[in-house]
Structures are given as structure tokens and as C-alpha cells.
């Protein structure tokens, strides 16, 4: 019918703040896969992830006024909104069930040996990146980024001093930066 | 605080991973607003982590988008008519095309109308120009007539002029002419009245009779219509005036059998 519109981030933000439907469609079509991917990674269950994503998009839509371009990119903000919502979701689910530490070892394969082989990875890029990260670096990033762990929780989980968590977290992220930026 | 030390302290990386305390977060926000290097490092760390997140991309179930749209509509975040934006596009296009066609037709009609109007104006302008030229010519004619009449009145009204009536001789009984002669200045004016038309090769010639001898007082063509006062050749001591018909260009001596009118002072 017509060519897909292409917006600069500034244009998109402006249109989103005007509650422009086409801008919203564009937003969904371009970013939903990344957001859904992150939510799935956090939540684990795909049906639950779909529910969380619905909530995330409504929150993004409703709170677009709060987004401040000076504080970072729109996509970063959106991904953080979705990720925080997903983390809140599992946190409340976990607190309903049992203690978080148990839940982590059971519900997430992070700590389990052979995790990278167990998960279905259809993304060549992900494999390439994971190959460059040590198991420990990946674990720290996933615990912090996907599970919302605090320094103390990671220190406890990985049985290392707080200072070490801090240093290794930095090293892990420096590696990512080296790989992407 | 040294900026580089701060950047390499790990606070930025720990912050983007959500591992910092609220106090540390506030400090970083302050520092990044103050130092572009810190802001830059923060952006890079965020980008790296976002890129890592994107690697896990997964296409959501097709039903999710519709559900979200519905939820947003229920929430009043989207206006219902907006939802039809995409599907209503073709009819919108048809409408826009109709508007465009209508605008084109209107434009062409306007151009045509103005072309016709312009031609009309041109015609009117040339007509007015012609009328103006006619009026100017008419005015010039009137001015000339006024001038002649004024001259005539001046001569007629001047007591220095003597009026000589030249009556028709035998065969020219209805012909008549008037001569105004000024004895002091010797000026001669002729007012021909009812002189018959002449063939192409003939002209009238006025003579003054001085001491019994005819003296040429000038030739003229019989004027058509209103006959103006004609200034003729000056004559001294005139006793009589006469008009004869002579070959074009006049003669030295009058052809006496061709005399038309004559009159004594």
C-alpha cells in the first residue's frame, strides 16, 4: 500500500508524545522483538512474557512524557522499562513461591552446567558474543541485567567478595563494550 | 575528583547493570551532567548492554500487537478513529485525488477565464486608444476652426478694413464673394461665397485693379463646405477686386471672359 515510514529518533519521540498511532505502530514493529526477547529472557515463560510485554508497551505509551532524551536513547529507556517490569514480575512471583536464591537455581538455568548448550540459540551473533565472554562474566551480566540481582545477591550467589563483584562486573561490561561499541 | 579515576572506578558499568546504590546513581547523574566524558562513557556502557539485550531478540506472537492496541484503546490512550488510520488510507487517497483533480480543473478554468478577460481588455484598450485619437483629431479641427473664426471676426470687426462685395457677373448671377481690404496695411482677405466647383486643371485667381490695371492678389481652390477667410496677396491703392477662372498656377493677366465676380470699392 505505502512504503513503511522511517523516522529519526527525535521525530519518533515527538510523534509518540502526540500519541500518533502510526508512530506507535512503527515503535512496535521495530522494537517489539528486542523487547520481547529481553522479557522472555527474564521471565522464562513465553505466555507470561506476552502479558508482561503488553503491560510494558502500555506503560511506555502512557509514560512517554517522562522520557528525557538527555538521559539516553529512547530504545534504552524502553528496554529498561520492559526489563524492570519483567524483573518486578518474577520477583513478585518468586516471593509468592519461595526464596529467591532457590528460585534462581531452579527456574533459571544460569547456574546450571552446560547452560549455553541447553538453550536454543538461533542467533549467530549471540553465539559469537557468548564465546568471547567467560562463563563468569556472562553469569554476572545475566544475573544483574536479566534477573535484577543486587551486588550483594551476586556476591552471595557466586561466593565472592563485594569488591570482586564490582570489578568483575566492570570487566564484563568492558568486554561487551569492546565487542559492540 | 579526577574524571578518569571516576570513569575507571567501575561505577558506570555497575550502574548500567543496576548494581549501584541510589546514592551512587544520584552521584553519577550529577557527574554525567557536569562532565561530557562521563556522559559519553555512560552512553557507551548503555549501548553495549542494549546491544547485548538485542541479541536475544525474539518475534512476539502475532496476537500480542492487537491485544496491546485494544488495551490502549480501552485505556483511552488511542483515539478510535486513529485505529482506522491505516485502513482508511485508500479512501483518503481517493478523496485527495478528487481534491487534486478539482483543484486542477478549477485552476485551468481560472486560467481560461483570465485569458478571455485579458483578450477582452486588450480589445477595449485598442478601442479606447482609437477613440482618444479621434477625439484629439476632432479637437484639433475645432481648435483650427476657432482660430479661423477668431481671425475672421478680428478682420470683420476691425474698422480699418473695408468690405468689398463682389457680385456675380452675367452667367454667374448666384455667385458672390467678399473681400476685406485694409487701406493702411494693404492686407487682403477673401471670403468666397457660393463659387461653383472647378475642373481639376483650373483655379480661381483674385485680382486687384490698381490704376486701371489688374494686379495679382493670389490663387486659391474653391474650399469645400464652410468657407474660411483666406489671406491673399497685399494690394496697395485698390480700386476694385475681381475673381477669374485661370489654368492651375494662375496667370499674369486675367482672362477677362472667365470673370466670375467683381466689385468696386
- Helix/strand/coil percent split, chain A, to 5: 75, 0, 25
Residue B161 has pLDDT above 70, yes or no: yes
Residue A145 DSSP one-character state: I
Q: What is the complex's ipTM, to 2 decimals?
A: 0.77
- Chain center to CA of B261: 59
Q: Do A33 and B60 touch (CB under 8 A)?
A: yes
Say what the pLDDT of residue B124 is. 93
Chain B nearest-CA residue for A17: B77
Q: Which chain A residues are Cβ-neighbours of B75 within 8 angstroms?
A: 58, 62
Look up residue B23 and give its three cell numbers: 546514592
Q: What is the DSSP string of B115-172?
A: HHHHHHHHHHHHHHHHHHHHHHHHHHHHHHHHHHHHHHHHHHH-TTEEEEEEEE-TT-
Residue A19 in contact with residue B38, Cβ under 8 Å?
no
- Chain B residues with CB under 8 Å of a chain A CB are 10, 13-14, 16-19, 42-61, 63-65, 67-68, 71-72, 75, 77-79, 82-83, 85-86, 89-90
Say what the pLDDT of residue A155 is. 92
- Most confident among A32-36, B76-80, B85-89, B227-231 (mean pLDDT): A32-36
Chain B nearest-CA residue for A138: B52
Q: What is the pLDDT of residues B99-131, one digit of tens each?
A: 888 999 999 999 999 999 999 999 999 999 999
Q: Quick check: helix, strand or coil at residue B202?
A: strand
Task: Return mean pLDDT, chain B.
Answer: 86
Length of chain A: 181
CA distance A133 to A172: 7
Distance from the Cα of B76 to chain A's closest Cα (Å) equals 10
Q: Each residue's pLDDT tens digit in chain A (181 positions)?
A: 445 567 888 888 888 888 888 888 888 888 899 999 999 999 988 889 999 999 999 898 888 888 888 778 888 899 999 999 999 998 888 776 654 444 444 333 333 333 333 334 445 577 777 778 888 888 999 999 998 899 999 999 999 998 999 999 999 999 888 887 6
Q: What is the pLDDT of residues B133-142, one digit of tens each?
A: 999 999 998 9
Residue B180 has pLDDT above 80, yes or no: yes
Say what the pLDDT of residue B174 is. 84
Q: Which chain B residues are Cβ-neighbours of A37 within 8 angstroms?
A: 53-54, 56-58
Residue B262 in contact with residue B167, Cβ under 8 Å?
yes
Distance from the Cα of A180 to chain B's closest Cα (Å) equals 6
For residue B56, give the nearest of A24, A41, A57 by CB distance: A41
Strand partners, B162: B181
Query: For the whole model, what pTM was predicted?
Result: 0.52
Say what the pLDDT of residue B85 is. 45
Q: Locate the DSSP E strands across chain B.
A: 161-168, 176-182, 188-193, 202-210, 213-220, 230-232, 240-247, 259-264
Residue A12 in contact with residue A73, Cβ under 8 Å?
no
CA distance B241 to B189: 11
Nearest by Cα to B175 from B202, B191, B190, B195: B195
Burial level of A168, CB count in 10 A (0-12/13-18/19+)?
A: buried
For residue A169, give the nearest of B13, B60, B71 by CB distance: B13
Say what the pLDDT of residue A120 is. 40
Pinpoint the alpha helices (H) of A45-111. Answer: 46-62, 74-97, 100-107
pLDDT band at B144 (very low <50, low <70, confident <90, very high): confident
Amino acid at each position: 500500500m505505502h512504503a513503511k515510514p522511517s523516522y529519526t529518533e527525535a521525530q519518533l519521540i515527538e510523534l509518540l508524545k502526540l500519541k500518533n498511532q502510526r508512530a506507535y505502530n512503527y515503535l512496535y514493529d521495530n522494537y517489539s522483538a528486542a523487547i520481547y526477547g529481553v522479557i522472555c529472557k527474564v521471565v522464562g515463560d513465553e505466555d507470561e512474557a506476552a502479558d508482561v510485554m503488553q503491560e510494558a508497551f502500555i506503560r511506555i505509551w502512557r509514560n512517554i512524557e517522562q522520557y528525557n532524551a538527555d538521559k539516553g536513547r529512547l530504545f534504552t529507556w524502553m528496554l529498561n522499562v520492559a526489563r524492570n517490569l519483567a524483573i518486578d514480575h518474577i520477583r513478585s512471583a518468586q516471593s509468592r513461591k519461595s526464596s529467591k536464591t532457590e528460585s534462581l537455581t531452579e527456574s533459571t538455568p544460569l547456574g546450571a552446567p552446560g547452560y549455553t548448550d541447553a538453550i536454543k540459540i538461533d542467533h549467530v551473533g549471540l553465539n559469537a558474543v557468548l564465546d568471547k565472554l567467560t562463563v563468569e562474566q556472562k553469569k554476572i551480566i545475566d544475573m544483574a541485567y536479566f534477573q535484577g540481582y543486587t551486588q550483594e545477591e551476586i556476591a552471595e550467589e557466586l561466593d565472592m567478595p563485594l569488591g570482586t563483584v564490582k570489578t568483575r562486573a566492570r570487566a564484563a561490561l568492558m568486554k561487551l563494550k569492546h565487542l559492540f561499541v | 575528583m579526577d574524571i578518569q579515576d571516576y570513569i575507571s572506578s567501575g561505577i558506570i558499568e555497575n550502574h548500567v547493570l543496576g548494581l549501584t546504590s541510589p546514592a551512587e546513581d544520584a552521584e553519577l547523574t550529577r557527574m554525567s551532567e557536569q562532565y561530557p566524558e562521563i556522559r559519553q562513557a555512560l552512553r557507551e556502557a548503555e549501548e553495549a548492554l542494549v546491544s547485548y539485550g538485542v541479541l536475544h531478540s525474539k518475534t512476539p506472537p502475532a496476537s500480542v500487537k492487537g491485544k496491546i492496541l485494544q488495551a490502549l484503546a480501552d485505556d483511552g490512550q488511542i483515539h478510535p478513529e486513529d485505529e482506522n488510520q491505516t485502513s482508511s488510507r485508500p479512501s483518503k487517497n481517493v478523496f485527495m485525488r478528487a481534491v487534486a483533480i478539482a483543484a486542477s480543473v478549477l485552476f485551468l478554468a481560472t486560467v481560461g477565464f483570465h485569458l478571455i478577460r485579458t483578450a477582452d481588455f486588450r480589445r477595449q484598450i485598442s478601442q479606447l486608444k482609437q477613440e482618444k485619437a479621434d477625439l484629439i483629431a476632432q479637437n484639433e479641427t475645432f481648435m483650427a476652426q476657432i482660430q479661423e473664426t477668431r481671425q475672421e471676426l478680428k478682420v470683420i470687426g476691425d474698422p480699418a478694413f473695408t468690405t468689398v462685395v463682389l457680385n456675380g457677373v452675367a452667367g454667374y448671377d448666384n455667385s458672390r464673394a467678399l473681400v476685406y481690404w485694409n487701406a493702411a496695411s494693404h492686407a487682403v482677405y477673401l471670403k468666397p461665397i457660393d463659387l461653383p466647383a472647378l475642373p481639376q486643371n483650373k483655379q480661381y485667381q483674385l485680382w486687384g485693379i490698381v490704376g486701371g490695371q489688374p494686379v495679382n492678389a493670389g490663387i486659391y481652390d474653391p474650399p469645400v463646405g464652410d468657407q474660411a477667410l483666406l489671406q491673399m496677396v497685399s494690394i496697395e491703392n485698390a480700386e476694385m477686386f475681381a475673381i477669374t477662372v485661370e489654368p492651375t498656377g494662375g496667370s499674369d493677366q486675367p482672362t477677362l471672359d472667365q470673370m466670375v465676380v467683381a466689385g468696386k470699392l
